[in-house]
Amino acid sequence: MTGGTDFWRALFGNDAPVEIEVGSGDGVLLTTMSTRWPTRNFLGIERSPSKSRRISARLARLGIDNVRALQADATCLVTSVIPCDSVAAYHVYFPDPWPKRGHAGRRIFSTTFVAGLARTLTAGGPLFFATDVEWYAAVARTCIVAGGVFLEAAARDDHPGLQTSFARKYRAAGRPLYAYTFVRMGEPAAAQGFAASKIRST
Ligand SMILES: C[S@@+](CC[C@H](N)C(=O)[O-])C[C@H]1O[C@@H](n2cnc3c(N)ncnc32)[C@H](O)[C@@H]1O
């Protein structure tokens, strides 16, 4: 991490790498990852106030100190708040596909969201994504690679997105799951003159 050291230290109290889960739901994966990787920090961004409250209660109950939960719109945070080149990995699992044509604008994967991920993720850092909806997998993959910043990496059996609550529920129901890893290529965003305001205006 470079530019975001002070920002993340203020939140976590240390300089460990920070991974972000967008749309954490009930927070099960956050607790799983925090136990498996105790030397990393995890931030869960969840838009729903009630789910966000449940995540915070769960973290407090389990006494987990390397996870923070934030109730917010993730697109707003990655676009305008999170510092450039400061996130070690992003996790986006089972986002709502919004299948009706008139609702397509509500999907999390948009040009603006992907540009925000590209700006804030460290060069070489992974973006993990999983869904149970085949057509939405294609739509999201196209959106992710369209900007030329993300490259799709090889499939992996230990993909973290296969351990969320929705993944477990869908696997139990016999539904196929689609899990992908993308890598942020190229120079750090700061070296390219990126700033939050520049991303917001495109
Ligand atoms: C279908 S659930 C999946 C939950 C979890 N990822 C899992 O796999 O179990 C999608 C979650 O994303 C959240 N969400 C949707 N749009 C969001 C946004 N813009 N920012 C943050 N969270 C969002 C929803 O509130 C919901 O909890």
The DSSP annotation for 37-54 comes to -TTSEEEEEE--HHHHHH
| Tokens standing for residue 93 | 């699992």
The residue contributing the CA closest to ligand 1 atom 13 is 23
**How far, in Å, is the centroid of ligand 1 from the Cα of 22?**
7
| Tokens standing for residue 91 | 């996790």
Mutate to test the pocket of ligand 1, among 19, 20, 22, 103 (most ligand atoms within 8 A of CB): 22
CB–CB of 28/92 below 8 Å?
no
* pLDDT in single tens digits along all 202 residues of the chain: 556 899 999 999 999 999 999 999 999 999 999 999 999 999 999 999 999 999 999 999 999 999 999 999 999 999 999 999 999 999 999 999 999 999 999 999 999 999 999 999 999 999 999 999 999 999 999 999 999 999 999 988 899 999 999 999 999 999 999 999 999 998 778 777 765 544 443 3
Q: Where are the beta strands (DSSP E) in 94-141?
A: 126-131
| Tokens standing for residue 126 | 């992974």
Please tell me the pTM assigned to this model: 0.94
